[in-house]
């Protein structure tokens, strides 16, 4: 119950939706809770998470959504970055964007039902009109990628020509590499001050969990040895 309330508090902070009268000519989709335990590199549970997911499987293309494609880093690209960082003796860092999809705006009109046990006392028949993307919507990954990529481009990054989930920033003689995997981000630089600058930059725009030096990512266990 606490994890569910935390998720709804995040919705309120992000202004994900607004309560409106039920539309007469628009379908209203349901939602469901998805629960999971977050583990560390030793398979020890570190926290319980509850995520509210829209039942977007009944959305029709060109009616409820349009373009949905969003690039996702391949495991080979992650391994190449790890190898490059090892070769250059870079320290890799990791951060997590909390509820990343909730940052992406949507242009379509999408309505979802109120949640059982969390209904408005004054307007129990109203529904939520989404202003931002919700997990489960087919356009959610693309909306998040557009928000993040536009932000990074404004901050002086360039998108990789082959891998569009890799962002590169050159500052004088130093280089910062940022690899995106949905809401998980790993990064390294020739100068650690660039990593600190990037962390502050992301904190100023998004709600971030800074996880420190990279040691576990997508099932890969990483040991960064300092000589």
**Cβ-based neighbours of 32, under 8 Å, separated by 6 or more:** 52, 53, 55
Confidence of residue 138 (pLDDT cuts 50, 70, 90): confident
More confident residue, 63 or 220: 220
Residue 141, in any domain of the structure: yes
> Which two structure tokens, joined as six digits, stand for 171?
């500052």
Residue 142, in any domain of the structure: yes
For residue 208, the enclosing domain spans 2-221
Please give the model's pTM, rounded to 2 decimal places.
0.73
Residue 226, in any domain of the structure: no
Residue 227, in any domain of the structure: no
pLDDT given for residue 62 in this prediction? 42
> Which two structure tokens, joined as six digits, stand for 59?
């959305």
pLDDT at 119 over 50: yes
Which of 12-16, 43-47, 135-139, 192-196 is the most confident on average? Answer: 192-196
* Three-class secondary structure of residue 155 per DSSP: coil
Tens of pLDDT, residue by residue over 53-73, are: 887 655 554 444 455 556 777
pLDDT given for residue 213 in this prediction? 84
Average pLDDT, the chain: 83
Residue 198, in any domain of the structure: yes
More confident residue, 170 or 59: 170
Residue 205, in any domain of the structure: yes
Residue 197, in any domain of the structure: yes
Give the residues across from 49 on adjacent strands: 36
> Which two structure tokens, joined as six digits, stand for 149?
């990529």
Q: Specify the number of domains making up the chain.
A: 1
Q: Nearest-CA neighbor of 211 among 183, 177, 190? A: 183
Q: How far, in Å, are 63, 82, 126, 195 from residue 137 at the CA level?
A: 13, 32, 20, 33
Tens of pLDDT, residue by residue over 177-219, are: 999 988 889 999 999 999 999 999 999 999 888 778 887 777 7
Residue 168, in any domain of the structure: yes
More confident residue, 227 or 154: 154
């Amino acid at each position: 119950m606490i994890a569910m309330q935390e998720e709804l508090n995040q919705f309120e902070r992000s202004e994900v939706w607004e309560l409106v009268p039920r539309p007469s000519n628009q379908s209203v989709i349901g939602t469901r809770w998805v629960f999971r335990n977050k583990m560390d590199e030793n398979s020890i549970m570190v926290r319980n998470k509850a995520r509210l997911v829209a039942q977007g499987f009944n959305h029709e293309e060109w009616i409820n959504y349009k373009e949905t494609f969003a690039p996702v880093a391949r495991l080979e690209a992650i391994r190449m970055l790890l190898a490059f960082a090892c070769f250059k003796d870079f320290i890799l860092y990791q951060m997590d964007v909390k509820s990343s999809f909730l940052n992406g705006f949507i242009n379509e009109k999408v309505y979802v039902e109120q949640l059982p046990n969390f209904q408005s006392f004054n307007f129990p028949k109203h529904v939520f009109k989404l202003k931002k993307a919700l997990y489960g919507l087919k356009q959610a990954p693309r909306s998040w990628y557009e928000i993040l990529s536009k932000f990074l481009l404004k901050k002086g990054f360039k998108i990789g020509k082959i891998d569009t989930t890799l962002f590169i920033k050159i500052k004088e003689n130093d280089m910062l590499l940022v690899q995106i995997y949905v809401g998980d981000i790993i990064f390294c630089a020739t100068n650690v001050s660039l990593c600190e600058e990037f962390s502050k930059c992301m904190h100023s725009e998004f709600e971030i969990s800074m996880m420190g030096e990279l040691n576990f990512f997508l099932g890969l266990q990483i040991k960064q040895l300092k000589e």
